[in-house]
Every structure is written in C-alpha cells, then in structure tokens.
Amino acid sequence: MKAFQIEFTAREHGLLREALQNYGISKRTLASVKYGGGHLLVNGSEVTVRHPLEIGDAVTVIFPKETQGKGLTAENGPLAIVYEDEALLIVEKPPGQNTIPSREQPFGSLANYVAGHFGRHGIPSTLHIATRLDKDTSGLVCIAKNRHVHHLLSVQQQEKRMNRRYEAFVHGEVAAEKLVITAPIGRKGTSIIEREVREDGKFAETEMELIQSDGGISHVRLKLNTGRTHQIRVHMAHIGHPLLGDDLYGGGRELIERQALHCTELQLDHPVSGKRLSYTSALAGDMHGLIQS
C-alpha cells in the first residue's frame, strides 16, 4: 500500500512552508517529511518548503512510510472494527484487554492486534492511539494511521471538537440530574497507579447526566472535557459515587468484576476531509446485564 498523502489547493500567495503550517502540519511533522523520505509536490513537481505558491497551485504532501517499533509484537487477534479508511481506525475494545502492551503483559493488547491488522493489509504505519481506555473499560477507541493525523486529533481534543461520552453504573442514588465536576487530578503520593483529587493536580472536568437511579445504584452518562488518567473513576469517587466493580477507588465487586464503564459515543471531525463523524457502541454484555437485573 502506498504511503499516506494529503492534497489541497493553494488559496493565497506565499511560501509553501506557510501554507503547510496553515493546513495544520506541525514543524515536527514537516521535518519528518523533509528528512524521513517524504515528498513535497506542487503541480506534480518536487519542491522545497521555500517554493513560492500561486493561487490555485495543487499541493501534495507524501508522508514517509512508518514502521512498527521493535517493542510491539504484531499478533493475529479479533478486532471489532467500526470504521476504517486511509487515515483512521475506530474499534470497540472489550473489557479486560490492555490498550497497549506492558512489561508484565507484552501480548494480547489492542495495539498488538492492530499491528497485526496493519501487517496483514500492508498498511505502512505504526499505530497512534488517540483515545486510550483503561484495561477494564470497554468501548470505542480511535487510532490514527499517521503522525500527522495523530497531531490533528490531538488539536481537536485540545479544542474540544472531539467528544467522548461514556455510560457507567455507580454506587448510591445520584441526586442531581445534571452535574459538572471540576476538580484537579494528580498522582496519589503512595501509588504509581492511583490518582486522586488534589490542589496541585491538573485541571480536570467531567459532565454527568443521570439516566436512572434505583435500589442504591445509579446509571449515568458522562462526557469528558479533559483527558486525565482515571478521570471518570476519580471524579465519581470524589463526589461519593464510585463505579461498581472499581475496587481501586472504593467500588464493590458484588455485581460486576470490573469497573462498570463503557465508551458509548465518539464524535470527531475527519482529519483529512473535515466531515463530522459520529459513532456509537452498545454496552458490553456484563454492563447490559446490570440493567436487566
């Protein structure tokens, strides 16, 4: 498969470098194109970033082919693909699967399986996971097939144009129908894994909406306005409603063996076409069973 490329038409006079930066190509990405085997074309001819553009010139950026890092082993494994094109891959991750491999669990992660998928289909890219989920959180995950695409997705997240919504089951009957939780999150001093709300933490904001409350359990919908580690889990525990199954933050495992959290919706602007994309994911079986019971 050919290397990833983008095309656009110059709308004003100026140097190619300026047009590329206005198009969202970072200096780091541009350096990788220049020194890593990529190509810059204007009207089909190769040029440098100092090339003067005329209105209507056809610009093509061919990005260098990427290779998988040596620390990631490609594996054949099941992938629940929701959407795929030359720039993006959106999948549903099951509960109990790591998003990326770890020293203790180097195999069987979502990243291992995606690397295998790329290899089987001749996709010349390493994977760039834009929306990572905890091991026991299920639902939608967005993966970029190129460094430039990953950069554009990161900008979308910073500008809050990428929306992620979750559903969760929490202990206690939540009183408010809608609530915005704004509380800074940082690493807990006694743990390398656990986070907590603390004054010197990073700004974090979560929107919560009550779906149903009954029998000492609440079913809630959540929207992330920031992307801190364990954000939903920490914020819900902070307001006295830890997630069911989340024993790290005070939840009990009587009804479910993992934190009852699922990414149900993902909305973003396609990084190349600009088209608004929206995808949904049904609750995993164990969480759906909580509704029935």
Closest Cα to residue 135, out of 246, 215, 31?
246
Write out the two tokens for 3: 């290397």
* Selection from 66, 57, 93 nearest residue 77 by Cα: 93
Q: Which of 57, 134, 136, 246 is catalytic?
A: 134
Assign 3-class secondary structure to 130-176: CCCCCCCCEEEEEEECCHHHHHHHHHHHHCCCCEEEEEEEEECCCCC
The verdict on whether 134 is a catalytic residue reads yes
The DSSP bridge partners found for residue 46 are: 41
What are the beta bridge partners of residue 134?
none
Structure tokens at 193: 């894994």
Angle, CA 72 vertex, CA 66 and CA 78 arms, to 5°? 100
Determine how many CB atoms are found less than 10 A away from the CB of residue 188.
14
Active site residues: 134
